[in-house]
Chains A and B, each alone.
Chain A
Amino acid sequence: MSARPDPGRRDALKLALAGGVASALGPGLFLVAAPAEARAPGLAASSAQRWGILIDAARCAEDCSLCVQACSDEHGWTVGGPPGREPQWIRTVAATDPVSGRSVRLPLMCQHCALPPCADVCPTTATFRRADGIVLVDRHLCIGCRYCVMACPFNVRFFLGDAVDNQRPHSPRGKGTAEGCTLCVHRVDAGGEPACVEACTTGAMVFGDLNDPQSAIRDSLASLPATRLRADLTLGQSVQYRGL
């Protein structure tokens, strides 16, 4: 009788070991996303999927802005500038409890609401919510009324008041129209993940399909509580937070 375990037994042991480690560390400690499934060219977005991001603010390092820089590089907007003048599709916000003094930093971008106030108020349907939950602006329909900017509870919808000379082919922008985080829809449709999530080195952000019970984001959400910003508004955002 050989002392070596047969290959089938070896795989089973590996699986058991991996499972044991994962159980010990606990879901949510490491937010690791499985690759998103690419949508076939020509196929419309489907409500079978609902893309979302889970952000663990406790994992955001004090001086880290990798997600911000990645978004800026991906979409061609400039970080900083006078408040309100330069669109900041994603930015880090510091939140401090005035009683305890505890402070956290969190990345803030379009929350991709299930009931987006920006889309409700848009007079021309330029702002719309795709079937898979991504809220976008059709630049060809936007008349630049800024009502969506007024309606956004998170100040993450922007009005471009100046000409843009740093356009990205996958992320068109236009003077006199509204804009905001697209959840890197061009990447998502190709089976990738948003640039901010890809750039995050601390495991603070996980992207995935909220409708997929097998996805890491669903698994993590099922195991530990997360919250939405302004949950009292019941907008059903696709971006959720932990560690606030």
Chain B
Amino acid sequence: MTAITLDQLDAAPRRLLPVVVGLGVALVCGGTAVLIIETMGHHVTGMTSLVPWGLPHIFAYVLILAASGALNVAMIASVFRRKVYETLEPFSAMLAIALLAGGLSILVLDLGRPDRLMLTMTHPNPRSIFAWNIVLYTGFMATTAAYLITLLDGRFSRFFGATSGIAFLWRFVLTTGTGLDLGILVAREAFNSAIMAPMFISFSLTFGLAAFLLLLPTAAWLRGGTPDRAVLQRLGRLLALFVAVSFYFAVVMHAFNIYTPQTRALERFLLLDGGVYTALLWGGQVLIGTAVPLLLVAMGRPISAAAAVMIGAVATIYLYVIVGQAYPQPLLPGMQISSIYGDGTVAAYVPSLTELLLSLGGVAVALSVLLAGCLLFRIIPRRFARAGAPGAGLQVAT
């Protein structure tokens, strides 16, 4: 058994300082954007009543999906007893909490009336999946925190089995709810499908593992170490599997829509005529988000593959969220519709700088929470367990 496997982040200041400054600048920019939007109103953003959810929601979705997926590395060790990942469990849990915090901060700060957030607790609508998601998000945060505590504090280790099991189930329910956010919208042809739930679960596994593969080596670099290449390669192969599964769900959805007469025009738009949306599909989701990562994993470059996945993630979610709103809803199926409001035509959406800054601010929140976690708790593996080793166990530095 390895003597010392986990450590706090005792980063060299020359490496830590630029990171802290960068995050500080991003947080200030995000905060400023929030003040501008909330003071002047959402008309300063690119969002309209035709495209009411924009770039902030895209980043929020990516972060929230990645949050539940990031926990998966820990779950593989905890629930499926794969000892090779045991030393990665605390970082995985901390990353999940951090990503969710970032995603939720964007969602909350983009509300038209964020000051009324408590109303979701005092006046919840039991029929609203949005209201349920608020319970699921806070519950995920709580169960993951409890799981992290049982990992780090020996006094609570007897609860480890229970907390890991609950966290594992919770993350699936949460991502199901996130997918159904869009899936239940009955008149939005690009969304309205139960496949959104499993597809978003596959997205979450992909985005979360990619975020993990990017940020764990970054944390290791901050403390002057290098991660175990064998473990990274192993995670890279797992990432390739998740990428393939995500692509499978996307293909099934498109094939089903092509076969269905009422969604054939939508598919033609997406695959051929949709301009920026077609470019996002082929260039973002298929090329950068699928083909390139698979190639990079095959070439033994898992971190580069993870970076490509995250770029593809933003493109993919942009595609689903925006095109689902911008593509006209069939008011009178079979009829050509027009009005001064733009009925019957594809709605325009151009993200504004304020939206971008708010979104990047949310990413900065996630990274700041992660950095704080790394500085406060011993969650960074000093060296990874070797693949196939009998198990490093969780020995905390003293």
Contacts and interface: CB of A to CB of B under 8 A. Distances in A.
A92 interface: yes
Interface string B150-187: 00000000000000000000000000000000001111
B47 interface: yes
A45 interface: no
Given A98-B335, A143-B117, A150 B52 contact: yes
A149 interface: yes
A96 B94 CA distance: 56
Interface stretch (A80-88, A186-194, A198-206): A80-88
Given A84-B347, A94-B339, A143-B113, A124 B186 contact: no
Interface string B107-137: 0000111101101100111011111001000
Interface in A65-121: 80, 82-85, 87-88, 91-98, 108, 117, 119-121
A87 B52 CA distance: 12
Chain A contact-residue range equals: 35 or more
Given A124-B131, A158-B49, A230-B330, A150 B188 contact: yes
Nearest to A144: B112
B185 A123 contact: no
Name the prevailing secondary structure of the B interface residues.
loop
B55 to A, nearest CB: 14
Interface residues of B, number: 53
A122 B120 contact: no
Contacts of A88: 340-341
Given A143-B113, A145-B112, A176-B41, A84 B49 contact: yes
A96 B336 contact: yes
A149 B303 CA distance: 39
Given A108-B343, A124-B120, A233-B186, A159 B336 contact: no
A149 B186 contact: no
B123 A121 contact: no
Nearest to A88: B341
Contacts of B38: 176
B337 to A, nearest CB: 6
B331 A149 contact: no
A155 B49 contact: yes
Name the prevailing secondary structure of the A interface residues.
loop
Contacts of A119: 125, 127
Contact of B343 (A93, A123, A124, A162): A93
B117 to A, nearest CB: 6
Interface of B: 38, 41-43, 45, 47-53, 111-114, 116-117, 119-120, 123-125, 127-131, 134, 184-188, 325, 329-344, 347-348
Interface of A: 80, 82-85, 87-88, 91-98, 108, 117, 119-126, 141-147, 149-155, 157-163, 175-178, 229-230, 232-233, 244
Given A84-B341, A124-B120, A143-B120, 15 more contacts: A82-B48, A85-B49, A93-B338, A93-B339, A96-B336, A120-B128, A122-B130, A123-B128, A123-B134, A143-B112, A154-B329, A159-B49, A160-B112, A162-B41, A177-B112
